[in-house]
Structures are given as structure tokens and as C-alpha cells.
Amino acid sequence: MKIAVYPGSFDPITNGHLDIITRGSKTFDKLIVGVLVNVDKKGLFNIDERVELIKRVTKDLPNVEVVSFHGLLIDFMKKYDANVILKGLRAFSDFEYEFQMALMNNKLDPEVETLFMMTSAQYSYLSSSAVKQVAKFGGCVEGLVPSDIIPDIIKKIKE
């Protein structure tokens, strides 16, 4: 059974993330979305909220599981018997950081492969940070994030 982990902060999940999750779910037997608990960075949504939002928008993908993790990604992967890290690549500018992480993860565990999926063109400019900025200043986030979670973002920004 081929189990992959798609790791990230997902604060919040965007349509770009959902596109990779949907395509990844067709590529692997099981896809685990690993949501990083970053104690150094206060996000818009707390970790349980992020997990809940992702679960909500992936409920129709039966081989997708959503789990939070802290510490090293490699340790999380071992726990779930996964040996592929799935990452999305949007632009050339993503490459250097992703290349470094892929090599570091492979150094920590040579059994682990990082596979990159090119983002779909219509989402190549999308990021969670950009979505938060647009929402913060009252812009329209329709089409940027799954429509199911737009009320959650607007409510959270107002808090």
C-alpha cells in the first residue's frame, strides 16, 4: 500500500491545497494531510480548527485522512508507515526551499522520497498568506478557498 503525507501549515486550506489533495488522493492508496503544529507562530486558525476545515472539505475523498503533528515530519511519517512526501510546486521561487527540505528529509531517512506535483495553473498565485491578507482588508476570497469555509474565514478575521 502506497501511503503519502502531504504536509503543511494550512492556515487556512486554499483551493491550491485542495487541488493537490484531490489529485494526490488519486495517485496514492492513502493520503495523509499532516497539519504542522507550530508553537513559534500564532496563526489565524488554531490547529484543531485547521484540521476541522480540511476534514470538512475533503469529506468526499475516502482515502484522505487529516492529522496534526509536531516535531519532525520524518517521525510523523514513520508513525503512519508512509514513505512519500507529497508537495505542491507553484513557481520557480518555491524550488530552492523545497529542494532544501527534500534533501534534508532524505538525509534524515533515506527511505523517504519527496514527490512534487505541479500546481494547476489557475492556482499558481495562491497562498494562505495572500488569502488572509485579502480577507483582512475586506477583499473577496471567492474562488481562492473552498466556498464551504469562507464564512469561517470572515468570522475569524472579525474576531
Is 105 a binding residue for ligand PNS by CB under 6 A? The answer is yes
Residues 20-49 that bind ligand PNS (CB under 6 A): 36
Hey, what's the cell of 22?
A: 484531490
Is 14 a binding residue for ligand PNS by CB under 6 A? The answer is no
Judged by CB, which is closer to ligand PNS: 2, or 70?
A: 70
> In the β-sheet with 3-8, what is the strand arrangement from edge to edge?
64-69, 30-36, 3-8, 84-89, 113-118
| 17 classed as catalytic | yes
Is 114 a binding residue for ligand PNS by CB under 6 A? The answer is no
Catalytic residue among 25, 50, 128, 132: 128
Is 88 a binding residue for ligand PNS by CB under 6 A? The answer is no
For residue 137, the minimal CB distance to ligand PNS (Å) is 22
Instruction: Assess contact for 94 and 114: CB atoms under 8 A.
Output: no
Catalytic residue among 26, 41, 155, 158: 41
Is 115 a binding residue for ligand PNS by CB under 6 A? The answer is no
What is the Cα 86 distance to its own chain's centre?
A: 9
* Residue 87 among known ligand-binding residues: yes
Q: Which amino acid is at 124?
A: S
Distance CA 91, CA 117 (A): 11
Total of residues contacting ligand PNS (CB under 6 A)? 10
Taking the CA atoms of 100, 36, 70 and 136 in sequence, report the sign of the dihedral they define: positive
| 70 classed as catalytic | no
